[in-house]
Structure 1
Amino acid sequence: MTSAPIHQSGRHFLQLPGPTNTPPRVSEAVARATIDHRGPQFRTLALEVLAGIKPVFKTASPVIIYPSSATGAWEGALVNTLSPGDGVLMYETGWFATLWFRLAAKPGLAPELLPGDWRSPVDPQAIEARLAEDRAHRIKAVCVVHNETSTGVTSDIAAVRKAIDRADHPALLMVDVVSSAGAIDYRHDEWGVDVAICGSQKGLMLPPGLSFNVVSNKALDACQSARLPRGYWDWHDTLAANDSGAFPYTPATNLLQGLKVAIGMLNEEGLEAVFRRHRRAAEATRAAVRHWGFEPQCRHDQAHSPVLTAVRMPQGISADAVRRAALERCNMSLGGGLGQLADRIFRIGHLGDFSAAETLGTLAAIELSLRHAGIPHRSGGIEAAVAVLADERGSESPALVA
């Protein structure tokens, strides 16, 4: 993509599905003076944040916070629970599921990827069937992505848990909630997830730099016998230090200051209201997309992501042309297609800290960009979005619970 002019008036619209816009209150907290990470002020902060983050994941289990990207938390989940040669069953929902699959091979695991079409959610029946074949229980973990950010598809995690149970298989369930935590209903304990993986830069409204493992008792038991090498990622060291409000290394103190504020903002709005706001923005965005004459990458009505919409361009039309026009004409960043979807789709983020006005502004800028790029479309998508947002009943879409 060509770069935007050196100076463009107005704020930059960061309409990616992550990193998302950081609210001013969070930015101010991150920008405060760095405090002594071994002093009493930090100890109070750490204990407050470690307790306060649990309701976001709807868990009573420990939440481990790393100074890293979410890729680090992926690795932390694997090396703390598994041993060389262990089988890991994964499902191909898109780019991030395949990245996790590739990472799992690096420490000496034996990952297996059930194929998908990059337009559909995880198929619990396929997981159940594969586990039923594994009578020797060589598969030690099932790893799935809750919200596949590359495709705009959300999977039913409760149904995956039930599939594992129906197969009467002891495999751990690991779930990537990087783009769902704090934005889509996720129930760690109720859904029987053993390890959740998360990052700070999406629904949690922080800059990149923190990642999370949410750890069940079953996962902690597996950690006792796991034989993959681990140092930095070791849960035992972190949990022992966390008991007294400390970390076994220098923590990201300023990001933790921001996390405290972000948790407070989620609590002030209320998680159910946060989820509803995201669903309504998604429905309004899809209404505009369909009015323009395009289709979402997700082909299943019940699996549309509340936090992003991936828009398929007709064959022969460049999705990146829309993104270039948006950046150059409107000072707005949109997500591009990843892997096999490069230049085939563009991705609209409606995630984190945003309002209905920002949703409409984003859609208006996209319609302008379509016109500027000379891409055939039906004008008037904004009116379709307004009709959705003006419906006072809001979104009543149920949580993905089987």
Structure 2
Amino acid sequence: MKYSPGRHFLQIPGPTNTPLPILAAVGKPTIDHRGPEFAELGLNVLKRIRSVFKTNRPVIIYPTSGSGAWEAALVNTLSPGDRILMFETGWFSTLWAKMTKALGLEPEIISGDWRSGVDAGVMEAHLRADKQHAIRAVAVVHNETSTGVASDIAAVRRAIDDAKHPALLLVDTISSLASIDYRHDEWGVDVTVGGSQKGLMLPPGLAFNAISEKAIEASKSAKLPRSFLGWDEMLASNASGFFPYTPSTNLLQGLKVALDLIEEEGLDEIFARHDRAALAIRRAAEQWGFEIQCRNPSQFSSSLTAVRLPEGYSADALRSEVLQRTNMSLGNGLGPLADRVFRIGHLGDFSTASMLGTLAAVELGLKARGIPYGRGGVDAAGDILLGNSSPIAESA
């Protein structure tokens, strides 16, 4: 592609835009990962990352993608042949289930419609029916990146408790961490999976496991093979700020600055900013006359919005038009949603101006492609961003 002047608008649901202070930190000279300067860095980020997960327990940091953290959650807690209850909410829950099969686990998958989140009542019924407690873990995606649907993790915890079931609770927060309120300790999660490239505003390359005491106990008898991903050596080395192998030194330097920025803004304000942006995007889509992929307003994601185009129009053609004309990337539809939806990311580092610019670029693309739409989407979003419309007033 030839050079396109001006800032590229990266409005996919991750990786997200990386702020300049974080890029500067990542670009600093590499330090000795066995020296005292690194020990100080390691202890700093290992302690402070806990607040993002809202946990007082250890958080393990891997030099890998979110898929590596998925695998770590499984191999450290389960044994070959173990049953694991999962709920199909979209593309990423499906991929996680595929991984369980590859590892020799037996997933029990509750089918979903890719437009709704986890049904805690259905999960509770499955757990109550498991009289022998053969199900060893429940694994759910907090925010399904392919559909823009957020599930109620506290309700899943209640379902497990009400069923009086001992299953571990594993949760993927890759596209919700530091963007949507999440409470590892309060919600009784045993392993929380996270990634660096979305709400944490870093480039891809770091992934996380926040772990409970129950998960630690499970790891002592788990029989799935593990070496690089094993928690025991990581926890032993992390106690002094080090890692059992060469870590992603420069990304950890960036993580320190990312945590600085998050603490300066404050998690509550970060969540409120994401809520406002998400509502503004939905109001624009409503004004355009388009459907949101998520059907249930209580499950709308604050990290991204998947917008359905009318029948007969190509979402990929629209994305291509927008990229060519405005230098802006939108997220594509995945699996059965391919060419059916486009996804607008509103997570991580963004401002009111970037949200309004995103919507204006989409409208330009709709006009250029001859896709019928209602005018005034940017204005409708602007009312939300200016505080002229109540964030609560969403139609059911």
| TM-score normalized with structure 2 length | 0.98
Which residue, 214, 221, 233 being the options, matches 2:229?
A: 233
Alignment length (residue pairs): 393
CA 1:392–1:53: 2 relative to 1, 3 Å: farther
Alignment of 1:256-271 (within 5 A): 256-271=252-267
Which residue, 125, 142, 159 being the options, matches 2:155?
A: 159
Output the CA distance in 1 between the equivalents of 2:170 and 2:323: 37
Output the CA distance in 2 between the equivalents of 1:61 and 1:253: 23
Output the CA distance in 2 between the equivalents of 1:137 and 1:8: 58
- In the other structure, the counterpart of 2:213 is 217
Q: What's the RMSD between the two structures over aligned residues?
A: 1.0
Output the CA distance in 2 between the equivalents of 1:170 and 1:86: 13
The answer to whether 1:316 aligns with 2:277 is: no
Alignment of 1:170-249 (within 5 A): 170-249=166-245
Output the CA distance in 1 between the equivalents of 2:243 and 2:111: 39
Q: How many Å apart are 1:158 and its aligned residue?
A: 0.1
- In the other structure, the counterpart of 2:65 is 69
Matched letter for residue 244 of structure 2: P
CA contact (8 A) 1:69 1:209 kept: yes
The structure 1 segments of at least 4 consecutive aligned residues displaced by more than 6 Å after TM superposition are none
Alignment of 1:336-375 (within 5 A): 336-375=332-371
Output the CA distance in 1 between the equivalents of 2:280 and 2:126: 38
Give 5+ residue unaligned stretches, structure 2: none
Output the CA distance in 1 between the equivalents of 2:225 and 2:325: 50
| TM-score normalized with structure 1 length | 0.97
- In the other structure, the counterpart of 1:135 is 131
Which residue, 31, 46, 51 being the options, matches 2:47?
A: 51
Matched letter for residue 356 of structure 1: T
Give secondary structure in 2 for the equivalent of 1:37: coil
Give 5+ residue unaligned stretches, structure 1: 398-402
Which residue, 270, 274, 282 being the options, matches 1:274?
A: 270
Q: How many Å apart are 1:373 and its aligned residue?
A: 1.3
Q: How many Å apart are 1:322 and its aligned residue?
A: 1.2
Output the CA distance in 2 between the equivalents of 1:112 and 1:314: 34
CA contact (8 A) 2:383 2:389 kept: no
- In the other structure, the counterpart of 1:325 is 321
Give secondary structure in 2 for the equivalent of 1:282: helix
Q: How many Å apart are 1:395 and its aligned residue?
A: 4.3
Output the CA distance in 2 between the equivalents of 1:297 and 1:286: 11
Q: How many Å apart are 1:396 and its aligned residue?
A: 6.3
Output the CA distance in 2 between the equivalents of 1:169 and 1:340: 34
- In the other structure, the counterpart of 1:15 is 11
Task: Please list the CA deviations of residues 112-135 of structure 1 after superposition, one character each: whole Å capped at 9, or x if unmatched.
Answer: 110000000100011000011111
Q: How many Å apart are 1:148 and its aligned residue?
A: 0.3
Output the CA distance in 1 between the equivalents of 2:392 and 2:47: 30
Task: Please list the CA deviations of residues 87-118 of structure 1 after superposition, one character each: whole Å capped at 9, or x if unmatched.
Answer: 00000000000000000111111111100000
